[in-house]
Amino acid sequence: MSWTRRRVEPFHAVAINRLAHARARRGLDVIHMEVGQPSAGAPRAALEAAARALHEDRLGYWESGALKERISRHYHDWYGVAVDPQRIVLTPGASGALLLAFTVLLEAGDRVALGRPGYPAYRNVLRALGMEPVEIPCGPETRFQPTAAMIERLDPAPAALIVASPANPTGTMLDRVELGELVGACRERSIALVSDEIYHGITYGSRAVSALELDAAAPVVINSFSKYWCMTGWRLGWLVAPEALVEAMNSYSGNIFLTPPALSQHAALAALDADAELAGHLVTYAANRRVVMEALRGFGITELAPADGAFYAYADVGHLTADSLEFCRQLLGDTGVAFNTGLDFDPVAGGRTIRISFAVSQQETAEAMRRFGDWLQAR
């Protein structure tokens, strides 16, 4: 297969982030709202555990059985679901979990359904592996989420479906009924379900429902320490595999990754008990969400995804531009405020949308909205 056939699109958020850092190197200020990472950093207990490990552990190839057991308890505590620790596969971030899931579940040429707008790495990793993403346009009428009816209409049935709740970039969530219907549609048509639950814990009303609550055996569930636990750069995630796939998942993981980062595993074990500190971050996100959504509506940007969870505002700015990438570049150059183009998440209609990450401080959020408003008024 030629490189051209497997070529994937660039991640525009990374390109904008590079421009933002180049601006900072010139001594100019930047408010980073272009990438999906918490500004708070790892919990204090995680940092302390990592510091101890640096002095006490040789940090060789290692997989923490204690961490798997603690993640298993996390599923019991959060969802009331019993997960055998042996079904938990530790990976280098959720990105590693996605790669592992696609590699084990699917074959080259398989068709995989996913909603659009959605996280770009889904379709890009699938293409890199020689698989075919089948993007389902999802708009405000379904709260930017796929429905069971959409899956039932696909002909032929795809090999797999990827769902994310809360979703990136919209922050929308599937409730228990909606997710249950999708689980049922996948079971009826023998479609593998991959549930990306990386933003669980970051919600502003109802809690997020895990696919394991509705089917404890069949879905592949992916999560990470990057978002709720504020450990993006530590590159540690996991997946919960169906029992029949555990051996294959471990075999592939050992060959592709050897083991996850040892230092990160020590830190993550401590992070899982840092609930009080992490609750404070949720208060900040909720306050920032209010500020951003109210400011955007005040600027006349009223077509917004609901942002039930995660820390993003996804906004239609089609009345302001048809080229949201250039719009974001100009905004960054003129004001130092970095947003991301919707083209990452929707290559068809993303030229009219932007995504704003509000996982920064309350002061930065307020200042960014002030600058954005002034910039819009001056255009």
DSSP string, 145-194: ---HHHHHH-SSPPSEEEEESS-TTT-----HHHHHHHHHHHHHTT-EEE
From residue 101, alpha-carbon distances to 40, 123, 215, 253 in Å are: 30, 14, 17, 10
**Span 241-260, average pLDDT:** 97
Judged by average pLDDT, the poorest of 2-6, 306-310, 341-345, 346-350 is: 2-6
Nearest to 314 by CA among 169, 117, 115: 169
Better-predicted residue by pLDDT, 197 or 6: 197
Q: How confident is the model at residue 11 (pLDDT cuts 50, 70, 90)?
A: confident
Q: Please report where in the chains the tokens 């039930």 appear, as a residue.
A: 308
For the chain, the 3-state helix, strand and coil shares in percent, each to the nearest 5, are 50, 15, 35
Statement: residue 348 has pLDDT above 50 = yes
262 near 56, Cβ under 8 Å? no
Encode burial over 44-54: b for 16+ CB neighbours within 10 A, e otherwise. Answer: ebbeebbeebe
Question: Which residues, at least 6 apart from 94, have a Cβ–Cβ distance to it below 8 Å?
Answer: 196, 198, 222, 223, 224, 226, 237
The CA distance from 367 to 281, in Å, is 19
342: closest CA among 359, 369, 360, 323? 323
pLDDT, averaged across the chain: 96
What is the reported pTM? 0.95
Q: Sorting pLDDT into bands at 50, 70 and 90, what band is 352?
A: very high
∠ CA 288-294-299, nearest 5°, is 125
CB 94 within 8 A of CB 195: no
List helix spans (H) across 43-129.
44-56, 65-79, 93-105, 120-128
Question: 10: pLDDT confidence band, cut at 50, 70 and 90?
Answer: confident
Q: How far is CA 92 from the centre of its chain?
A: 14
pLDDT for 16-59, tens place per residue?
Answer: 999 999 999 999 999 999 999 999 999 999 999 999 999 999 99
User: H or E segment at 298?
Assistant: helix 275-298
% of the chain at pLDDT higher than 70: 98
pLDDT value of residue 3:
47
Encode pLDDT of 89-105 as tens digits.
Answer: 999 999 999 999 999 99
Q: Per-residue pLDDT tens for 218-240?
A: 999 999 999 999 999 999 999 99
Instruction: Report the alpha-carbon distance of residue 125 to residue 95 in Å, rounded.
Output: 9
Q: At what angle do helices 262-271 and 44-56 cross, to 10 degrees?
A: 140
Nearest C-alpha neighbor of 35 from the set 285, 370, 371, 358: 358
- CA-CA distances (angstroms) from residue 151 to 32, 56, 190? 37, 51, 12
Contacts of 146-151 spanning 24+ positions with Cβ under 8 A: 146/113, 146/114, 146/115, 146/182, 147/178, 147/181, 147/182, 148/178, 148/181, 148/182, 148/184, 148/185, 151/113, 151/182, 151/185, 151/186, 151/189, 151/191
Q: CB 60: neighbour CB atoms within 10 A?
A: 7
Dmax (CA) of the chain: 60
Q: What is residue 9's predicted lDDT score, i.e. its pLDDT?
A: 79
β-sheet bridge partners, residue 355: 314, 340
Cβ neighbours for 376, distance < 8 A, ≥ 6 positions apart: 299, 320
CA distance 258 to 91: 10
- pLDDT at residue 343 greater than cutoff 90: yes
Name 362's Cβ contacts closer than 8 Å, sequence gap at least 6. Answer: 284, 287, 288, 291
List, for residues 281-290, the tens digit of each pLDDT value.
Answer: 999 999 999 9
Q: What percent of the chain has pLDDT over 90?
A: 97
Residue with tokens 């850092």: 21
Model pLDDT, residue 5: 54
Residue with tokens 């009924």: 177
Please report the domains of the chain, with CATH numbers, ordered by start residue: 3-41+276-378 (3.40.640.10), 60-272 (3.40.640.10)
